[in-house]
Amino acid sequence: MNDTAGIVEDSCKLTEVFGYWPSFHDAEVINITLNRDCENNTAALTADIHVFEMTNQVSGSGTYICRHHSIVTIFFTEIDGLELDAFNHQNALMQLSIEDISQRQLERVKLSVIFEPAYGFGCNFVCRSARVISVQAGIPQGSVYA
C-alpha cells in the first residue's frame, strides 16, 4: 500500500480488491460530475474510473491478461483551481496522483490531484479531501476491455 491510500478516506474499499492502492495506469475515466455548494462557497468533483490490474500473463490472442476490473467512484471536496482538458470517448490515464500538500498550503487546501492523461481526459486541482465512495466489480459498457 503506498502513501496515497493513507490520505484518501475509505481507501480500504479499493485496497481490499487490489491488495494495494493502484497507480490507475491505463484506467479509463468514465464520468466526471461537478457540483457547487453556494451556501458554503465550495465546489466538489466526483469521478467514476474503470481501474484494473494488468498481469504479466498473456492471453491466446497476445494481449496481457487484466484482473480486478472495477469501477471506483472517488469524491473530492472543496476543489479549487480546476483545469480540465480533452474529455473524449476513452479517457485513458497514465496515472492518478493524489499528494498531501497540507504542510505548504492554506488551511483549507490539503491535497493536490492530477489525472495525468495517456489519451484524452486530463485534469488537475487542489482540494480539501478525497474519499472512495464505492468500488463495483465490472467493465463499463463500450470499454476496449469488454
Place of cell 493513507: 6
Number of domains in the chain: 1
* pLDDT tens, position by position, 92-101: 999 999 999 9
Q: Is 49 inside any structural domain?
A: yes
Looking at the domain assignment, is residue 146 inside a domain? no
Instruction: For residues 5 and 135, give the distance between their C-alpha atoms in angstroms, rounded to a whole number.
Output: 14
Q: Under a CB-based contact definition with an 8 Å cutoff, are residues 126 and 112 in contact? A: yes
Buried/exposed code over 97-117 (b: 16+ C-beta within 10 A; e: otherwise): bbeeeeeeeeeebbbbbbbeb
Q: Which domain range does residue 22 map to?
A: 3-137
Instruction: Specify if 116 maps to a domain.
Output: yes
More confident residue, 104 or 131: 131
The pLDDT of residue 1 is 41
106 within some domain: yes
Q: In this structure, what C-alpha cell is assigned to residue 29?
A: 475515466
Q: What pLDDT score does 145 carry?
A: 83
What tens digit of pLDDT does each residue of 33-89 get? 999 988 888 999 999 999 999 999 998 988 888 999 999 999 999 999 999 999 999
